[in-house]
Amino acid sequence: MNGLGGLNKAPAGVVIGLVQLQLPVTVTKDDLARQTARVVELVGKARRNNAGMDLVVFPEYALHGLSMDTNPEIMCDLDGPEVAAFKEACARHRIWGCFSIMERNPGGNPYNSGIVIDDTGTLKLYYRKLHPWVPVEPWEPGDIGIPVIDGPKGCKLALIICHDGMFPEMARECAYKGAEIMIRTAGYTAPIRQSWRFTNQSNAFCNLMVTANVCMSGSDGTFDSMGEGMIVNFDGEIIAHGTSGRPDEIITAEVRPDLVREARINWGVENNIYQFGHRGYVAVKGGAQDCPYSYMTDLAAGRYRLPWEADVVHTDGTACGFAAPTRLYGESATASDAQQAAE
């Protein structure tokens, strides 16, 4: 069920386009400006590609590439020229868009942020990646949770980024807050291909939720991103898949949030998002609604600790060339620097 890539659009359908964007190299402000212009060009291509497309999605690192460069000169701001260009493009082409920025953070390392802009050019969703891909990524851990918004056609829409999707709790949180479509943007390279595929499917099926997932594509001379645009239906079936990895190809499909809502209400067997909080409702009225999971209660209490915790080798980014941090989560860089100077 994808309406021939959205060419035959149902009245209740939402057509999604996933851009397998060519992996860029961004070192200077001029590079950043050129790449912003390229993304804007592809918003126009998406609209020309499919007149019924409702949402075009660009991958993580669409502006900055995979260098992990935290140079302040090429960091972005929500009120900066890059986001302004995206807003103008969405309004001009009357299409919703999902974009990636590395966001300046005066209080610490930059954030790896994602935004969704509607077809009038209004910022509707703003998310900071909760789980940077450690030990490789230097980004500040996100601190604003996972927002869920009213997206195109009134669908409930959420966004997570790359490594976030390897934690089943992330997709579950999106669904728990009502998301019917979960976007997952990424910059993953080929070694993650199989993990990418089955987590995109499990995230969908375990939560009766459509997942729309896309990576960068092509080479920057060092890294090779894999493309792998995937749109997965709420039953776990892949309904569109960019297996060629062709840079700048747009993978499209129509999805049906109305059928997501129908399944969540009417399914008995495998209605896992409901049954998780109503264990054994055949035996006991309403099911058991306790929390039998020690990892959840320990995490909430600030005492999360694995049985093998003391033996874990990688607990900072030194293996990837980053200095070991001294600042605690929630502590500003200014306060931490002052303390180090005093010592």
Helix (H) or strand (E) holding 294: helix 294-300
Number of H helices, E strands in the chain: 9, 14
Q: Identify the CA nearest to 225 among candidates 131, 162, 159, 318.
A: 162
Helix (H) or strand (E) holding 273: helix 272-275
Q: DSSP string spanning 13-55?
A: -EEEEEEEPBPP---SHHHHHHHHHHHHHHHHHHHHH-TT--E
Tokens standing for 66?
Answer: 């995979």
Helix (H) or strand (E) holding 196: helix 193-205
Place of tokens 């409901």: 274
Question: Which residues form the catalytic set?
Answer: 60, 129, 162
Q: DSSP string spanning 135-181?
A: TT--PPPP-S---EEE-GGG-EEEEEEGGGGGSHHHHHHHHHTT-SE
CB 180 within 8 A of CB 152: no
The three-state secondary structure class of 200 is helix
Task: Round to whole Å and give the CA distance between 127 and 113.
Answer: 6
